[in-house]
């Protein structure tokens, strides 16, 4: 999780005890700060058995039927846990899955140190960081995983490379359409928030197609599907 985000995080308040101490008072989880309160989840920094970690807790949505809300929460936590587990097992740069409770709707993962790609690009990053982003996305796709919410806020520039985070809308289904949609979401983000870097998406694709024989993954077909999606969006706009 971004160091910049942690610096501006809200202090932990005891009233949040039920959220940030999933195991109760005698817990291997120690909370530190509420990082983010979003529409679908609350994110808290802390430590897991002394190791820097992040807790994500799905929040109830009042507009949904309680049974449907609970079902969606369990499904998404389970899916995110499976995704992280696969990435961890196969040596792909990603947060490490530390613990989860599907019924209660929370997951604990290792903290990824470094600034977000968003802040890095806004700071005028030099070099080809977008190429590294493309390589990281390909490595995730090559494992049959789509991200589902790919933006520059959901990527951390760590010492080991660009790490994608927040797989809450990810899928463990190797479908070309979803891979293409990841590229399209990223393209929309780069166009809207990083227009001062007009070659950014081209560099992402360059990284995505780099060394095509290394993993047996058909990256070219994904890029073709991305271009097809762009055409459909332009046509309906």
Task: Return the active site residues.
Answer: 149
Q: Show the DSSP H helices in 165-218 as ranges.
A: 176-193, 200-209
Distance of CA 157 to the CA centre of its chain: 13
Alpha carbons 212 and 138: distance in angstroms, whole number: 10
Per the CB < 8 A criterion, the answer to whether 22 and 30 are in contact is no
Q: Measure the CA dihedral 67/68/69/70, to 10°.
A: 50
Structure tokens at 93: 């740069």
Alpha carbons 55 and 232: distance in angstroms, whole number: 38
Structure tokens at 102: 């599907």
């Amino acid at each position: 999780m971004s160091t910049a985000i942690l610096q501006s995080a809200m202090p932990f308040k005891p009233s949040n005890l039920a959220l940030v101490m999933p195991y109760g008072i005698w817990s291997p989880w120690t909370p530190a700060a509420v990082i983010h309160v979003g529409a679908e989840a609350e994110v808290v920094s802390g430590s897991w058995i002394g190791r820097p970690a992040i807790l994500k807790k799905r929040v109830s949505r009042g507009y949904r039927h309680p049974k449907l809300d609970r079902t969606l929460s369990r499904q998404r936590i389970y899916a995110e846990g499976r995704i992280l587990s696969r990435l961890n097992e196969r040596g792909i740069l990603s947060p490490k899955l530390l613990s989860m409770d599907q019924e209660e709707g929370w997951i604990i993962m290792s903290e990824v140190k470094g600034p977000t790609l968003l802040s890095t690009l806004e700071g005028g990053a030099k070099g080809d960081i977008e190429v590294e982003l493309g390589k990281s996305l390909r490595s995730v796709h090559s494992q049959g995983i789509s991200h589902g919410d790919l933006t520059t806020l959901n990527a951390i520039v760590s010492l080991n490379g660009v790490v994608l985070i927040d797989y809450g809308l990810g899928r463990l289904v190797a479908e070309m359409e979803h891979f293409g949609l990841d590229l399209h979401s990223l393209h929309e983000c780069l166009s809207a928030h990083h227009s001062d870097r007009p070659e950014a998406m081209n560099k992402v694709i360059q990284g995505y197609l780099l060394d095509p024989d290394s993993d047996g993954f058909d990256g070219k077909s994904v890029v073709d599907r991305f271009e097809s999606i762009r055409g459909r969006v332009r046509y309906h706009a």
